[in-house]
Structure 1
Amino acid sequence: MKLKSTLLLAALSAAALLATPAAAQIGKRFPSERKVVKDPVTGTMLTFLTSTPSGDSKIYQTHNQWTSDGHWLIFRSGRVPGEAMAVNEKTGEMVQVTEGGYTGMLNIGRKSMKLYFMRNPAGTTRENPATSVQIIEVDLAKVFADSKAGKMQAPSVYQRVCGTTPPEMGAGGDMALDANEDVVYFRVGKAEAAKHLAANTKIESNFGPRNMGAGPAGLASMNLKTGEFKHVVSVPFQIGHVQTNPWVPGEIVFCWETGGKSPQRTWTVLADGSGLRPLYPEASYEWVTHEAVITRDEVAFALMGHRKINFNKDGATASNQASDPRNPGQEAGWGESGTREKPTGLGIVNLRTREVTIAGQTPSGSGLWHVSGSADGRFAVGDDFSRSLYLIDRQTHEMLMLTTGHKETAADHPHPTFSPDGTRIQIQSAMLSADNKSMNICIVPVPESWLKRTYKEKGK
């Protein structure tokens, strides 16, 4: 289900392998491109923080997007190949916040003005890939202050190497920052993962037509202050979408990544390796995807209803349409799943009680696809195959289309993420792109009338 996402991230990560141009300096400022555009269908006023075809894309919706002071959003961009950018939400000014490249996921502190990511060591090329990765910390407050003053110093003043992974660990890919912001968690390679599996463990093979999902895989952690590494857990399948609970230290959520339908998509585990379990135990006919921690106790996910029901002498079977690179998941090879023969929609599972609710679902079309929710528990949001964005009031289950027309030909999907205060949603959009592909960073407001709503207590 994340074909375009995977290809885009791979391209950006590959760019980070290349030598950074000499002019690509941390703290470099770029002029504002901020534009406010009225959605021609819904009337919602959209704030585009970037508006030129420069290869912009937001951080994945499993991770924080805003700096802890609430002023800046960090994003990936082709403006400076292989480097991360920040844009001021009010002024639109942009600042380069890394120098030397990055690979994988960008992690922004919610408590501190810090940025964490992996970096391939100097000299890494496509022909000479890295066997170890550095874990880097950036002092964003110092970068922004010195950039504004026009007095930037050496990159080492702003960037610190927290540690370097051992070559045998095979570290890379997804990385997530613990709620206490003193530890990061990341994937390790098959050889390292196998060392920590019981001898009789059945290793899973690839699942589905994408030929992904085979194990084993594992997670490890590194203490950002001491550099100490610890193994967290090993599993017999491919791991993807590693994320943490931003409010509960040591709580990790990840998935069995197949590029589409998984036998059991969502998983959770604690930092000491205990508590490993399926987060939402799914049935074979359910297509679960794009899980994201949204509150202290809840994870949102999509129960997809994107495939047609075909009727024949054997009963109802899943669609066997040809693959659509814009809207994947139609191939017969995924099995009988993802149809509306069973309940579908934006699901929310409670990490403590394990109870599941359906917040809402579109009446037709693909159904909700990439999902998020406000930290106060009031709202949920999801996009669909048409790249339309739907807001859901979790108390009343009312749904409202906020914006549409973001072009199915875009380089990636909207991937909505709520702001920490729950008043607005960040997406990536090709609405302004002449080539119908290049994306920009866009902010969608929650309607003021929805924010002012009050609710009576149940039973009164």
Structure 2
Amino acid sequence: MKNGMMLAALGCTLLLAGTADAQIGRRFPSERKVVKDPVTGTPLTFLTSSASGDSKIYQTHNQWTSDGQWLIFRSGRVRGEAMAVHEKTGQMVQVTEGGFTGMLNIARNSMKLYFMRRPPGETAQQAGASAGTAASAGLQIVEVDLARLFADSKAGRMKAASEYQRVCGTTPPELQAGGDMALDGDEAWAYFRVGREEAARHLAPGARLEQNFGPRNMGAGPSGIAAMNVRTGALKHVVSVPFQIGHIQTNPWVPGELVFCWETGGKSPQRTWTVQADGSGLRPLYPEAEYEWVTHEAVISKDEIAIAIMGHRKIPSSTKDVAAGTPVSGANPGQEAAWGPSGTREKPTGLGIINHRTREMTIVGQTPSGSGLWHVSGSPDGRWAVGDDFARNIYLIDRHTREMLLLSAGHKQTAADHPHPTMSPDGTRIQIQSAMLSADGRSMNICIIPVPRAWLKRKY
């Protein structure tokens, strides 16, 4: 009996310890390390360096808090929760409690964080059902007051999670909400995907639905975008389209302007799209040809969006191959013949910059060989563009001179994901995720790469 009571007490202690470990505001010691890039010599600041399952927010979204001091990222340190790391000190703080799903949205003009999460108490089985049916209770959109959270965490006087996290509203089950969420430039509306049934209700009668495209059997419609006002909880439908919507992003400098993609898992018939928050102005952002493989669009300034026009596929070179109808091929991922004739360098490829106002597109750089630039970003002031390639190399481009610099290499190709470079708001540094320090070659860390001082001093 005594042993049973002791075991029960131990179980309660462990349960309470686990609960305490999951609390918002919990602080973690610095892992900050500065190492020299083994190929280029560039100093790399690893803000995390342990094998804790870190990954950055996708490059379509903001990475830094509005005060420029913290970066927020996903991590396995506390399962299902998000972390922040102070760029100068390396101190880490847990910034969510109760989990999150989909994209983390850091406000640019206020010390706020927004995300979606399942309502407390929803089981994993219900959550799985919510992906394809209206069986779940919907999703909450939550706001975190980061300023109060960081101050109280530093002072060691944390309060209940509800003091820092506010539920803006809950999406109705019939919306089947989920996926990427994007915060508007006015920080009043949050946009998110809706399910097929809800999207179909808003399509024009007789609209022709697109079918799956490519070997991954993705891309079929319909799909749609809805929005919630994070101040009032009001909901509105934005747009429905006859294909599968992928990444959704907003223009942080122009409220009510959205960019999204047709997701197929590879080449799309028409990848990039734009629409206004009231559903007007729906059009292709960059009208692409069959031979163009466009991907990884990212809004980089008030008027500009960066895209990658892939040049990663090899074409038949011998007369015998041409006569035999040998398809384009190559060793890099995503080069199956079923994607069609796109992605070769028979036509212009590289890092493209689209002017949203004039609709003009300029290619500012391309690697001389290999995959070409893949995930792209740029500085809001128009000075720099940056991209990675299949080998995890990071290239910096001076948009004024078109000079291209291999800024960082040696990031292991075995990594769990790609670097996904993102420029800082002030255009002085780049954030990536990297497995360079990982013993297993897969687990990634958060890394900052500086723009070279000599480049920053350039006058034009």
Q: TM-score range by the shorter chain?
A: over 0.9
Whether 1:417 aligns to 2:422 is yes
Shift in Å, 1:320 = 3.8
Distance of aligned partners of 1:314 and 1:234 in 2 relative to their CA distance in 1, 3 Å threshold: farther
Mapped partners of 1:235, 1:128: distance in 2: 27
Q: Which residue of 2 aligns with 1:400?
A: 405
Contact kept, 8 Å, 1:76 with 1:84, in 2: the verdict is: yes
- Rounded Cα–Cα distance in structure 2 between residues aligned with 1:118 and 1:217: 19
Q: Deviations over 1:26-64 (max 9, x none)?
A: 000000000000001101000000000000000000000
8 Å contact kept, 1:318–1:337: no
- What is the aligned partner in structure 2 of residue 305 from structure 1? 311
Which whole-Å CA distance do the structure 2 matches of 1:360 and 1:385 have between them?
16
SS in 1 for 2:150: helix
In the alignment, structure 1 residue 59 sits paired with structure 2 residue 57: yes
Q: Percent identity, please.
A: 77
Is the counterpart of residue 153 in structure 1 residue 151 in structure 2?
no
Alignment-derived partner of residue 277 in structure 2: 271
Listed one character per residue, the Cα deviations across residues 53-111 of structure 1 (whole Å, up to 9, x for unaligned) are: 00000000000000000000000000000000000000000000000000000000100
Q: How far 1:199 sits from its partner (Å)?
A: 1.2
Provide structure 2 residue ranges, at least 5 long, that are not aligned to the other structure.
Answer: 1-16, 131-135
- Are residues 316 and 181 of structure 1, via their aligned partners in 2, closer, same or farther at CA, if it must alter by over 3 Å? farther
Q: Is the 8 A contact 1:318 1:332 kept in 2?
A: yes
Q: Is the 8 A contact 1:290 1:371 kept in 2?
A: yes
Q: Distance in 2 between matches of 1:120 and 1:363?
A: 46
RMSD across aligned C-alpha pairs, in angstroms?
A: 1.2
1:39 is aligned to 2:37: yes
1:281–1:411 Cα change, 3 Å: same
Aligned mate of 2:257, from 241, 251, 267 = 251
Aligned to 2:13: none
**What pairs up with 1:129-140 in 2 under 5 angstroms?**
129=127, 130=130, 131=136, 132-140=138-146
The residue aligned with 1:225 is 231
User: Counterpart in 2 of 1:170?
Assistant: 176
**How far is 1:121 from its partner?**
1.0
Q: Which amino acid aligns with 2:260?
A: F
In structure 1, the residue matched to 2:9 is: none
Conservation of the 8 A alpha-carbon contact between 1:299 and 1:349: yes
Are 2:291 and 1:293 equivalent residues in the alignment?
no
Alignment gaps of 5+ in structure 1: 1-19, 456-460
Larger Rg: 2
- The amino acid across from 2:108 in the alignment is R
Q: How far 1:126 sits from its partner (Å)?
A: 3.0
Q: Does 1:197 align with 2:203?
A: yes
Classify the secondary structure of the residue corresponding to 1:124. Answer: coil
Aligned partner of 2:101 among 81, 100, 103: 103
- Cα distance in 1, alignment partners of residues 327 and 457 from structure 2: 43
- Aligned position for 1:123: 121
What is the total number of aligned residue pairs between the two structures?
Answer: 432
Tell me the distance in 1 between the aligned counterparts of 2:326 and 2:394.
Answer: 29
- Conserved in 2, the CA contact under 8 Å of 1:318 and 1:338? no
Is residue 349 of structure 1 aligned with residue 354 of structure 2? yes
SS of structure 2 residue aligned to 1:309 = coil
Q: Is contact 2:307–2:376 with CA below 8 Å preserved after alignment?
A: yes
| 2:22 alignment partner, SS class | coil
- Are residue 319 (structure 1) and residue 317 (structure 2) matched? no
- Offset from partner CA, 1:336-363 (integer Å, 9 cap, x none): 1101111100001110000000010000
CA displacement, residues 400-428 of structure 1 (integer Å, 9 cap, x when unaligned): 01100101100000000000100000000
Aligned residue type for 1:169: L
Q: Is the 8 A contact 2:384 2:397 kept in 1?
A: yes
- 2:14 paired residue number: none
Q: TM-score, normalised by structure 2?
A: 0.92
Q: Equivalents in 2 of 1:348, 1:235: separation in Å?
A: 25
The TM-score with structure 1 as length reference comes to: 0.92
Select 1:380's aligned residue among 381, 385, 388. Answer: 385
Give the deviation of 1:313 after TM superposition. 3.6
Does the 8 A contact of 1:309 with 1:316 survive in 2?
no
